Amino acid sequence: MPIKLYDTTLRDGTQSERISFSVEDKLKIAVKLDELGIHYIEGGWPGSNPKDSEFFEQAKKLNLKAKLVPFGSTRRAGDTPEKDSNLNALLDAGTDAVCIFGKSWGLHVTDALKTTFTENLAMIKDSVRFLKNAGKEVVYDAEHFFDAYKDNPGYALQTLAAAGSGGADVIVLCDTNGGTLPGELEKIINAVKSSVKVPLGIHAHNDSETAVANTLTAVKLGVTHVQGTVNGYGERFGNANLCSIIPNLKLKLGLNCVTEEQLKKLTEVSRYVTEIANITPTPSLPYVGASAFAHKGGIHVDAVTKNPRTYEHIEPELVGNTQRVLISELSGRANIVSKARDFGFTLEKDTPETRKILAKLKEKESEGYQYEGAEASFELLIRKTLKGTRKFFDIEGFRVIIERLSDGRMLAEATVRVKVEGEELFMASEGDGPVNALDTALRKALYKFYPTLREMHLKDYKVRVLDETRGTAAKVRVLVESGDRSGSWGTVGVSENIIEASFEALVDSIVYKLLKDTAE
């Protein structure tokens, strides 16, 4: 059966407290959703704010294959559709399809709308008919439908009948509060199917962590219109996650909602939207998360290197993701061999070099080092253990001064002395903080010999206290992410002194950059 994918990231997704998209952001995301093969892209509520109206005006230039959809509500109580500004704003958006929601639950009719059951039915029917008479494809969202059915099944079904008699092209059953479980949902959809002949859709929220399960259950019951958001973004706990729904539909249920090539774009789209939203990615997302195909335990790694199917339910490449082997105190020799291969070294499980690297790793981890987010430092550890690394520079000393000025501003100044090829270099630099000042001073000191360091910049900096019970005497672990035009890499430092730990991570970062540039 043909499944239609309806994305509401640009409307429902923006109701997440973490997200606010500009018009330009929304246009960029719409293009990515179109490349993914989404059939309907809900762009916003033009009747509620000027930004969404501007989006639909600008989106006319995009030449999308997907249908853009403006969102709005039924007419107001006691008004006519022709006079309703919200409905007219939907028409002004100039799209072929529109989506409106109406009240299914008596609680909302009496307490939110402050109107009668009869008037609510008229509002639904009139609004749908008005839009149909204007030549629009109408998606009707039956808001709070599952709660409504559990409260008063007869009236809930009457609201669907009103939408159907108005000419709705699809009626979407919404679990707006996200409290319905798959078993309940199955019984209710079967009851709806016996009385409603209009094609059905599903719109699930994730308050009970069942949004994806509810969506898949609905599809198995014959629902053909599927709504959700990228990464499950949305109000409260979020919406059904299309990045899980799409591969489940195609790979698990055999429904060709997107092509194989489009499916390979899934991870890219997930991460692109995260980047545009300017929020931290969730590594544990199924299919598209950085940890979705990550293996840490030695037994697991040993197995997947022989046959990935032993611990992977699909090939990561099908959704544009990759297998990752993590390095930690749980690592076995298979982890070391796998990571060494990634770095261009050929090792065997039973060689002395592999045992030596594993012993060194476990020693460092016991001291507080962690290499899961610092693979550049781990590559340096392997290189030093196997053949040593080129000595690009020697640190002769450094100093950091923090000063509070009379106007209340804080000033950080760092001085660094390094030796390169027998020449001693001295550099001082100010920064937003001590680490920024150190980073800048060290790189400036080395520019004369290594000008490519000008391309490098600090992207992220994290500090973890390893033993809170020791208070200010506790060891800290510093993770630094650095980058240049070709990518980014992570390094780690550990010490009781946060500046020393930071400096260690910074030095590793610069050495790694220089190794990359010289392709040693």
**Is the Cβ–Cβ distance between 476 and 494 less than 8 Å?**
yes
Alpha-carbon torsion angle 506, 478, 290, 366, nearest 10? 110
Mean pLDDT across the stretch 402-412? 83
The pLDDT of residue 113 is 81
CA distance 181 to 261: 33
Give the residue with greater pLDDT, 480 vs 146. 146
CA distance 499 to 478: 9
The pLDDT of residue 68 is 96
CA distance 285 to 97: 31
One CATH from 3.30.70.20, 3.20.20.80, 3.30.460.80, 3.20.20.70 for 4-277:
3.20.20.70
Residue 33 has pLDDT above 80, yes or no: yes
SS3 494: strand
The pLDDT of residue 255 is 94
For 288-347, write each residue's pLDDT tens digit: 887 777 777 667 766 777 777 777 788 888 888 877 666 554 555 666 777 677 766 777
Q: Is the pTM of this model over 0.85?
A: no
The pLDDT of residue 122 is 92
Which token pair is 192?
């709806």
Among 110-119, 130-139, 397-406, 455-464, the range with the most confident prediction by mean pLDDT is 130-139
Give 118-133 as a DSSP string: HHHHHHHHHHHHHHHH
**Is the Cβ–Cβ distance between 215 and 241 less than 8 Å?**
no
CA distance 354 to 333: 7
Mean pLDDT across the stretch 335-364? 74
State the chain's mean pLDDT as an integer.
87
**Is the Cβ–Cβ distance between 14 and 55 less than 8 Å?**
no
CA distance 191 to 8: 27
**Cβ within 8 Å of residue 436, ≥6 positions away:** 412, 458
If pLDDT is split at 50, 70 and 90, which confidence band does 390 have?
A: confident
Mean pLDDT across the stretch 445-465? 87
294-360 folds as H-NS DNA Binding Protein (4.10.430)
The pLDDT of residue 183 is 95
Mean pLDDT across the stretch 152-181? 95
If pLDDT is split at 50, 70 and 90, which confidence band does 39 have?
A: very high
The pLDDT of residue 383 is 81
Q: Which CATH class is domain 394-518?
A: alpha beta
For 174-223, write each residue's pLDDT tens digit: 999 999 999 999 999 999 999 999 999 999 999 999 999 999 999 999 99
Of 410, 392, 369, the residue nearest 504 (C-alpha) = 369
Residue 473 has pLDDT above 70, yes or no: no
Question: Residue ranges per domain, the chain?
Answer: 4-277, 294-360, 394-518
The pLDDT of residue 135 is 96
Indicate the DSSP class of residue 240.
Answer: -
The total number of residues written for the chain in this structure: 520
Of 240, 256, 167, 237, the residue nearest 202 (C-alpha) = 240
B/e letters for 12-36, b = 16+ CB within 10 Å, e = fewer, are: bbbebeebebebebbbbbbbbbbbb
Which token pair is 68?
């853009």
For 209-267, write each residue's pLDDT tens digit: 999 999 999 999 999 999 999 999 989 999 999 999 999 999 999 999 999 999 999 99
Q: What angle do CA 60, 66, 68 make, to 5 degrees?
A: 50
Mean pLDDT across the stretch 117-134? 94
Q: Where are the beta strands (DSSP E) in 115-199?
A: 137-143, 170-175
Which token pair is 21?
């998209």
Q: Exposed, middle or buried: residue 95 (CB in 10 Å: 0-12, 13-18, 19+)? A: buried
| 294-295 and 394-404 beta bridge pairing | unpaired
